[in-house]
Amino acid sequence: MDLTDRKILYELDQDSRQSYSAIAKSLRTSPQVIKYRVENLLASGALQCCWPMIEYRKAGYFFGLYFFKLQNMDEEAEKELFDYLNNHQFIPIIMRGEGYADLIIGICAKGIFHLRDIITELNNRFGKNFREYDTTIPIGFTQFHRSYLIDAEKKQPKEAYTAFTGADVREEALAENERKVLSMVNCNARVPLVQIARKVGISEISAKNILRRLEKSGIIQSYTILPNHVLLGKPRHRVLFKLSNLTTQKEKMLFTYCQLHPNIVHHLRVIGNWDLVLDIEVERGEPFRKIIQEMKYRFSDIIARVEPTYIYKIDQFRDIPIEYPKLNTK
């Protein structure tokens, strides 16, 4: 990828639903060039998908994160496990790793008891392959833009835009057509309005109005991307933190540090065995070690334990399940 490709990814990271014309204007080129390059990024796998951040509680879901250490795995057992996970409607996050966890999944269920049923069934089928696992419940997922793509400095906190999911909000009643539109955008954030209208069986104006309502209500928080981090040369590290002596002021200082750091792209407050999860996209080895070391020095009074996992493959990464797979627009 050259600098133009990275600039395109940066634009899509900020709003993956914006038009080719809008991106072309920012990059001072033609829409045809942008379309050609985006299609090449998708075809090469450098851009895995465009997806929306969705306030899952408003959509009627409950989320749990699980960090597994695996055992008794051979090629056949691994294929069976990942075939099952990738075909499970309510497991929209699947990441393969090395380090603290071999497997990280997000279960997006219709409630806490549904979550329990899903993990019970997973244990019934694959318990022999699970040496142990940790469970956390997200209470706030914040996205920061990937400024490292163009070596740009992040804006100050009061000016910087961030998307957030996991708030203490009530479920909103959504009509079937609204859920169909949400499902289509969830599958592909760039799906054209004309295609939404045709597949859902509504007018293009109705599709546009539904999408606006989903955005205005905060159900759709933003449109972003899932790049291939390995091809980018900035692999993802999902890092678990155990915190202590945490005050409101110290928590704010830590959040601001993460928000301004060019390589920290996701900040998750969680409850359970851990207190914080960060997604850090940076080269393996010394560059990653320096970030962790700096955080330990700067926040030595509150960071009690750190456990990183290098993510070598992301099978899926979304907030909610795709509710209407027949409308899939991949």
pLDDT tens for 214-273 read 999 999 999 999 999 999 999 999 999 999 999 999 999 999 999 999 999 999 999 999
**Average pLDDT of span 96-117:** 98
162 pLDDT above the threshold of 70:
no
pLDDT tens for 169-202 read 999 999 999 999 999 999 999 999 999 999 999 9
For residue 279, what pLDDT band results from cuts at 50, 70 and 90? very high
CB 138 within 8 A of CB 268: yes
For residue 151, what pLDDT band results from cuts at 50, 70 and 90? confident
**Average pLDDT of span 83-94:** 98
196 CB contacts (<8 Å, ≥6 apart)?
181, 184, 185, 202, 207, 211
Mean pLDDT score across all residues of the chain: 94
**Average pLDDT of span 148-155:** 78
294 pLDDT above the threshold of 90:
yes
For residue 1, what pLDDT band results from cuts at 50, 70 and 90? confident
Element (H, E) at 126: helix 112-126
**Average pLDDT of span 90-112:** 98
**What is the SS3 assignment for 288?**
helix
157 pLDDT above the threshold of 70:
no
pLDDT tens for 118-150 read 999 999 999 999 999 999 999 999 999 999 999
The shares of helix, strand and coil residues in the chain, as percent rounded to the nearest 5, are 40, 30, 30
Element (H, E) at 250: helix 248-260
For residue 154, what pLDDT band results from cuts at 50, 70 and 90? low
User: CA 34, CA 258: separation in Å to the nearest integer?
Assistant: 31
**Average pLDDT of span 284-298:** 97
Query: What is the share, in percent, of the chain residues with pLDDT greater than 90?
Result: 92
Could you give all domains of the chain from N- to C-terminal order, each with its CATH number? 3-44 (1.10.10.10), 52-172+229-325 (3.30.70.3460), 173-216 (1.10.10.10)
Q: Give the pLDDT score at 158.
A: 47
User: CA 184, CA 286: separation in Å to the nearest integer?
Assistant: 41
Q: Give the pLDDT score at 108.
A: 98
pTM for this entry = 0.94
